Amino acid sequence: MVDLSVVIPCYNGRSNLVPLIEELTTVLQNTGLLWEILFIDDCSTDGTFTELSHFNKRDCRIKAIRLMENKGQQNAVYCGLNEAVGELIITMDDDLQHPPSLIPRLISTVLEGNDLVYAVNRTAKRPMILRAGTWLNGMFFSLFLKKPFSVEIGSYRIMKKELAKRLKGEKKRFIYVSALIFRLRPRPEISSFRYTLSPGSTNLISRFSIKSRYRLFRKLFFSYGPLRFLVKRSGEPYRIGDRL
């Protein structure tokens, strides 16, 4: 039995793996829980999966799945949610923008009676592109998916296994995990809290361009917005290639 799964989508993130895994495993060891780390390699071209195989040989709790095609971060997260076996599941990015030190707080908050808890970065000097993307997403979810204004969303979160099970079976080519969650009825118990990164952190630099943010929001709007019934979006969310 695994108490906690940490799902991490990655694409060409080989250079981040050593510091991420070192910090993450230290935090997880101190929780006293049985854990696994599950990387979903979104068809990287920089040797990420090969590097992950070295970690897996040293510690079998560090696992990886390589997708057959590049499907995007959200689809990779969805694959991880389907494959994770922990009673609690954390999703986080691979670029160290989501501090592993927050994991104990995530665990304690979800056990207070929540099904899902978001930890959201609200560092004052976040790049404009990140702040604009946050605002657009928040407005979309509140207008079309009835997200309470008191809840803020992001990709760093913890959920109970029962909630992840309710998300299975989607046949959309494009997946947006939070949209699937807020579409559920009855609505799960959801909360959020904020954190900030230190002013000198290199992790304030966004890997996303304005164009990529626009493409993501456009997919979100047409897949989960008011016009979703007019657009055919059926297909496989992902296909698994290799496993470690």
69-78, 124-133, 235-244: range with lowest mean pLDDT: 124-133
CA atoms within 13 A on the CB side of 237: 21
In CATH, the architecture of 4-126+150-204+235-243 is: Alpha-Beta Complex (3.90)
Average pLDDT over residues 91-95: 95
| Cα-based distances in Å from 94 to 40, 41, 77, 109, 167 | 10, 10, 12, 23, 23
Average pLDDT over residues 101-110: 98
Q: Where are the domains of the chain?
A: 4-126+150-204+235-243
CA atoms within 13 A on the CB side of 160: 15
Number of helices (H) and strands (E), helices first, in the chain? Answer: 8, 8
Per the model's pLDDT, the better-predicted residue between 227 and 157 turns out to be: 157
Amino acid at 240: I
Average pLDDT over residues 78-93: 98
CB 189 within 8 A of CB 151: no
pTM (two decimals)? 0.92
| Chain mean pLDDT for the chain | 91
| Cα-based distances in Å from 169 to 4, 71, 212, 238 | 22, 17, 27, 12
pLDDT of residue 214: 77
Q: If pLDDT is split at 50, 70 and 90, which confidence band does 219 have?
A: confident
CA pseudo-torsion sign 29, 53, 47, 88: negative
pLDDT at 242 over 60: yes
| Cα-based distances in Å from 177 to 14, 77, 174, 223 | 24, 8, 10, 12
Question: What are 19-64's pLDDT values in tens digits?
Answer: 999 999 999 999 999 999 999 999 999 999 999 999 999 999 999 9
